[in-house]
Every structure is written in structure tokens, then in C-alpha cells.
Chains A and B, each alone.
Chain A
Amino acid sequence: MTALEVRNLHKRYGQHVAVDDVSFTVEKGEIFGIIGPNGAGKTTTVESIAGLRTPDSGSLSVLGLDPTKDRAEVRERLGVQLQESSFPDAIKVAEALELHSSFYRNPADWRELMELLGLTEKRDTQYKALSGGQKQRLSIALALVGNPEVAILDELTTGLDPQARRDTWSLIERVRDTGVTILLVTHFMDEAERLSDRIAVINGGRVAAVDTPAGLIARSSGARQVRFRVSQPLDRSVLTDLPDVTDVEITEGRWLVTGRGQLLSSVAGALARARVVAEDLRVDQRNLDDAFVAFTGRAPESPGNSTRRVG
């Protein structure tokens, strides 16, 4: 079953093309990640899905509905946590949750949600007195208070400390386990890799790739590297003769082997045949950061950089 379908989405603001041509499909029950550099069109894409922007061309479908024409129905069934959204300073946590739950036909139990997000002890705290993490958790709770079938979470853990980020991740996994489809926009690669079933990489207003995290990493990887020390003398040619190996460097007893394909098993096999034990063996683990660089030509922002930006 398809939860979201985006076809050839195009949106410009005056001369500036925010989204050039974006298409992807999100299946029900999936956590679908969107990553890409700042200004790639991520936020405009999700705002169009949320019905906040009207696309210039292309088509959108949310649970089979059109976000522009079937506004009311989409709003009942789609929960949104926006980047840069806020609430009145003096509103208390419990008041905000109770108020928002009154907007929906079949709301979730807001007290339960407040408990789930660890906000119960802050129930009588005014919004302006909450910490960044608590504000973020309230915003997530409000996105889920309508019992949505699909939730859009834009920059979910921006501004949270590492423990709060991990807690939020497990919360999102629990929410997904209840059958909610999640569209996750993030510029944290670890977050996208950990949570997403599939990821779209958006670059320059276009989809550069859509795949599972492992698939993206595999597709992007060029050279692989293996490092080790050896217990006995070893002739370089033992490794340079291997078809998978492209280069061998030896610096002060440390071997650095560069190659492709099943590099590690080729090297390990050759060493075993030569009766040499490799010590301190390390394989350069490729991750989503590398895939991001490969597909966008830019480095992802580090998780330490927690400033909010419009993407």
C-alpha cells in the first residue's frame, strides 16, 4: 500500500527554483528518510506534502488524497512537526496537548503521549520555560496527538543532546511499530541510517538516489581499504598480485591495502596462505556520510552543529 506519492514535483519562488523535479513513493508502515544539503529542496518538498505550499507542477498524493483539494481530510490523517514552528510563550504543556487533541476526530490520548515523551512532570510548565529538547518533544507530541496515519518530522532531533536524540529515535521506532508511516527529514546521517527503511537523497531540487541505507552505501562505495600489521616479514607481491588489490603502501610496518570488491576476504585468504598473522586488522567502514558525499558532492553537516536552518 502506498502512503505517499510524489510525482515530478516542481516549485519555484520567483526566479529561484526550490524544487526542480522530485519523485518518490513511500509505502505504508515505512520510515522514509530525506537527506540532502541545505537548500536542496527538502523542506519545500515536505511543506508541499503537508499542504502548506501549492506545487507549480507535478502531483502529490497523501493516503490517496490530494493535499490541496482534500485539505480537511489530509489534515485529519497527517501529523506534521515543522522545522521552526513554535507555540505561544505562556501556554502550558498540558494545555497545548489538550487544545490540539480537540482539533481531531479521533485523537490519541494526550496524557499517554505526554507520558511517552517524558513531559508529564512538565505538564504545568509554560512553553517559554521549556528547554530546547522539551520544546522539541512537545512539538513531536503535537504532531502525533491526532493519531495520524502518516507523520512528517522535519529536523527531528536538531538541538537535542546525544542522549535525548537516542531516546527520540527509540520513540520514533515505537511509533512506527504502531503502524504509522513516517517521513523523516534530517541532515544527520547517523539518524537517517539508524531509522530509515529507505532514504531519498535530494540534491539541487532533484532526487539523486532512493535506496535502503545499505543500498546507498553499497552503490556509492568506490575504493575500500584494509589496514593491518604483520607478525612476520611478507613480500609485497603476495598482495599486489591479487586481482582485487589496486595499491599497497607500507609505512613503518603498517600495511595499507586499497582495492575493490571482496577486498577483505581476498587479503585475509592471501595472508592465511602465506601463513602470516595480521594484527590490528581494520577495515574502513563506509557509512552514509560517504554515500552523501558521493551523491551530492558535499560533506554532510556534523551532528555537533545544531543550528536550525531552512533546507
Chain B
Amino acid sequence: MRALLKMVKVEGTLFLRDSATVIFGVLFPTGLLLGLGAIPALREPSPETGGLRDIDIWAPTALVFGMVMIAVQHVPAVIATYRERGILRRLSTTPAHPRGVLLAQMIVALASVVVSAALMTFLAWAVLDIAPPERPLEFVVAFVVGYAALLGLGMVSAAVVRTSSAANQLGTLLFVALMFFGGAFLPRVVMPDVLREVGEFIPPGLQALTAAWSVEAGQITATAGGQPFWPQIAVMAGIAVTASAVAAKLFRWE
């Protein structure tokens, strides 16, 4: 336990020294939202969306951006580097199992997205007047379970790649795919129904996050054939468990 706490502390310190990840993973989502919020047209209440502004409906996408960045880009790259450079192997000659360093990585990755999300929801409220999550409990559940599903995918990626450069390539590919369903290229609200319905099965689950943040926005982005909130959460939990099991099965320590 003492060793794990020390590892979390050291991995956290190393994370903070990696300025690119801190900027893109933690600070950028807030910057992106504030930047888009500076465009007047996106702050106009629209009668078609029941008086909601585009920025209100789109805000959860910025949140997803930070989560995906850390879970599928940053974490697998660090783990692949640790494997490639014999750091995991070196650890396995000590009483600390290299499992500890993976766990520490995941704890740090969770802490960093929590900070990122807290910063974003606070500034979204303070600067853009986007109300804090209306259903806080559901929001926390959707966030944690959705993130667990993302990290599961990240760990599968870390398990199968051989080198850190392969981890970066696969990470970028996953990032683009996940962010497509995360509404970064095409806002969810304008996606065809079929894409929206598929999107409910894509981590971290944008629809559940949107619905928990703002009930009205959730109604606008939902489709007639879509799943209710809790089944969406169950899907994410299933993905988290399955992906973690696959990652654990495929993981190579050297």
C-alpha cells in the first residue's frame, strides 16, 4: 500500500512535468469551450432547441475531448514506453509488481480528468453561464463509468502495441474515431439518427453525459429509437469490464 501511494505520487509528479499532456488533456477542453463560447452565433438562444444555445448542447463534447485524450492517447503511450524501455521489467525484479505502476497510471489518469472536468464545468458556468450538471449523481456515474470504458480501450491498446510509436499511432486513430462519436467533427444534435444510436455504444457515452448535465439538451440530442439513461450506463460498464479483461489477458510485461 505504501509502495502504491508512493507510485501514485511519483506518477502524478511525472504527469505534471509532461507539459504537453497537461495542456492538451487538462487545460485544452476548457479553452476549447471558452473559445467557441466567444463566438456570438453559438451563444444565441435558438427557438428550434427550446431556447437553448448551441454552446449549451455542445459543452459535453469538450468534456469528452479531455477524457479521450488522457485515456487513449496519454496512458497507452506512457505504458508502451515503460515496456519498451525495460522499466516494467526492471520493476518486476523488485517486490513491487509492475501491476502497481499500471494501477498508479490509471489513478493519475482518473484524477487528471476529474480536475479537467471540474475546471471546465466551473468556468463554463462562471463565464458562459452554462448551468452546472442538473442531475449531479447521474452525471458522476456517467462520467466515471464512461471513463472506465475509455480507459479499458486505452489498456487494450497499451496491451497490444509493441512500441511507443505504435501506441501513438493507434492512440491517434482511436482518438479520431471516438471523437467523431463524441461530436467533435459533427455535433451530435445534427448527426443522423443511426449515428446517434450507434454513438450510445461508443465510450465514454456522450448522450448519457449530455442528458445528466442538462435534461433539455439531452432530450434534443436523443433519438426516438435510442436507449434510456441507465441502459446506456450498463453498456459502458459492460465495455469497461470486457475491455479490462481483454487487456489483462493480452498484456505483455516486456
- The reply to whether A103 and B89 contact each other, CB–CB distance below 8 Å, is no
Category for how many chain B residues contact A = 20 to 34
Q: Which residues of A contact B2 (CB under 8 A)?
A: 102
The answer to whether A100 has its CB under 8 Å from any CB of chain B is: yes
* Choice from B10, B85, B89, B94 contacting A146 with Cβ under 8 Å: B94
B7, B18, B96 — which one has the most chain A CB atoms within 10 A of its CB?
B96
Q: Restricting to A126-147, which residues have a CB under 8 Å from any CB of B? A: 126, 146
The answer to whether B87 has its CB under 8 Å from any CB of chain A is: yes
The answer to whether A50 has its CB under 8 Å from any CB of chain B is: yes
The answer to whether residues A52 and B92 also contact, given A98-B6, A102-B3 and a CB cut-off of 8 A, is yes
25 example contacts (A-B, Cβ-Cβ < 8 A) are as follows A50-B93, A51-B92, A52-B92, A75-B94, A75-B95, A78-B93, A80-B93, A82-B90, A84-B86, A85-B89, A86-B85, A86-B86, A87-B87, A88-B81, A90-B14, A91-B10, A95-B10, A99-B6, A102-B2, A103-B95, A103-B96, A104-B94, A104-B95, A126-B17, A146-B95
CB 8 Å contact bits of A98-139 with B (1 = contact, 0 = none) = 111011110000000000000000000010000000000000
Give the dominant DSSP class at A's interface: loop
* Choice from B3, B6, B93 contacting A82 with Cβ under 8 Å: B93
The 9 tightest CB contacts between A and B, nearest first, are A80-B93, A85-B90, A103-B96, A102-B6, A86-B85, A90-B17, A85-B86, A75-B95, A103-B94
- The reply to whether B95 and A72 contact each other, CB–CB distance below 8 Å, is yes
Category for how many chain A residues contact B = 20 to 34
Q: Which residues of A contact B17 (CB under 8 A)?
A: 90, 126
Q: Which residues of B contact A27 (CB under 8 A)?
A: none
The answer to whether B46 has its CB under 8 Å from any CB of chain A is: no
- The reply to whether A100 and B94 contact each other, CB–CB distance below 8 Å, is yes
- The reply to whether B90 and A91 contact each other, CB–CB distance below 8 Å, is no
Min CB distance B52 to A, Å, is 43
The answer to whether A76 has its CB under 8 Å from any CB of chain B is: yes
